[in-house]
């Protein structure tokens, strides 16, 4: 199975400041169609996960433009340009290039 | 508006079987895959498998192979997940989620509200 590793595991951020989360995989997530099969989800407290970014860099419908995804192969980053209070929760990346689809350990973002 | 509404919380005995359903509305059910993801308390989510609603094809995580059965009832726009031989390690929240296929990416764009399952004697 592909191993997916996130860092940091905890991320305290002051509102208005940027934030960045790293996701690394043990194998390339580049699919034969040229897309990276790496997605990002946010799980707010007490809620189901919600899709933020798919195929490495595509914002899902309704996701604010302050969220962006980048990277290729085995190294990916989720960036929040200016953190807001509503962004608290646990951020997960997931590889979907092969089954079983594997989530990272999660990064807990909290407001300072 | 897309909705996935799951069945209610369950308490099961070790060795029993669990069945959770996921009622879909607001989209063409047969055009999608339904994935099942579970999350043990305080743990990362864990993908269990998918079913292609249109043709009934399934793909299971090897971890659950032999214990999991995914089915769907297209007339009722409902997907079902059955998990047998339960142990305490199966305690957690089970989610259904909608997705497209490999070409579009396997991301899950809508999720059910989750079904809390407790396995305890």
Q: Which residue, chain included where needed, has tokens 């009722």?
A: B76
Least Cα separation, residue B109 to chain A (angstroms) = 6
For the stretch B42-85, pLDDT in tens is: 999 999 999 999 999 999 999 999 999 999 999 999 999 999 99
Determine the distance in angstroms separating the CA of B117 from the nearest CA of chain A, rounded to an integer.
15
Mutate which of B95, B105, B109, B111 to disrupt the A interface (most A C-beta within 10 Å)? B105
Please, which residues bridge with residue A53 across strands? A40, A59
Q: pLDDT-based confidence at B103, cuts 50/70/90?
A: confident
Q: What is the mean pLDDT of each run of 10 residues along chain A (112 residues)?
A: 97 98 98 96 97 98 98 98 98 97 98 94
Sign of CA dihedral A38, A40, A46, A47: negative
Residues of B in contact with A34 (CB under 8 A): none
Q: Are B106 and A96 in contact (CB under 8 A)?
A: yes
List the single residue in A96, A99, A105 with the smallest CB-CB distance to B61: A99
pLDDT in tens, A38-48: 999 999 999 99
């Amino acid at each position: 199975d592909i191993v997916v590793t996130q860092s940091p595991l905890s991320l305290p951020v002051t509102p208005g400041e940027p934030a960045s989360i790293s996701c690394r995989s043990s194998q390339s997530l580049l699919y034969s169609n040229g897309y990276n099969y790496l997605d990002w989800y946010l799980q707010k407290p007490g809620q189901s996960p919600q899709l933020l970014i798919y195929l490495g860099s595509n914002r899902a419908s309704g996701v604010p433009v302050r969220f962006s995804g980048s990277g290729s192969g085995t190294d990916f980053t989720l960036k929040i340009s200016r953190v807001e209070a509503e962004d608290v929760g646990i951020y997960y990346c997931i590889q979907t290039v092969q089954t079983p689809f594997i989530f990272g350990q999660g990064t807990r973002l909290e407001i300072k | 508006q897309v909705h996935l509404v799951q069945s209610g919380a369950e308490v099961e005995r070790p060795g029993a079987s669990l069945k959770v359903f996921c009622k879909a509305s607001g989209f063409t059910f047969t055009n999608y895959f339904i994935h099942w993801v579970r999350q043990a308390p305080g743990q990362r989510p864990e993908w269990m498998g998918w079913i292609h609603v249109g043709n009934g094809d399934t793909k299971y995580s090897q971890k659950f192979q032999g214990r999991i059965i995914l089915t769907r009832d297209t007339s009722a726009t409902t997907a079902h997940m059955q998990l047998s031989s339960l142990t305490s390690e199966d305690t957690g929240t089970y989610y259904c989620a909608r997705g497209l296929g490999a070409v579009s990416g396997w991301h899950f764009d809508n999720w059910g509200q989750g079904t809390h399952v407790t396995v305890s004697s």
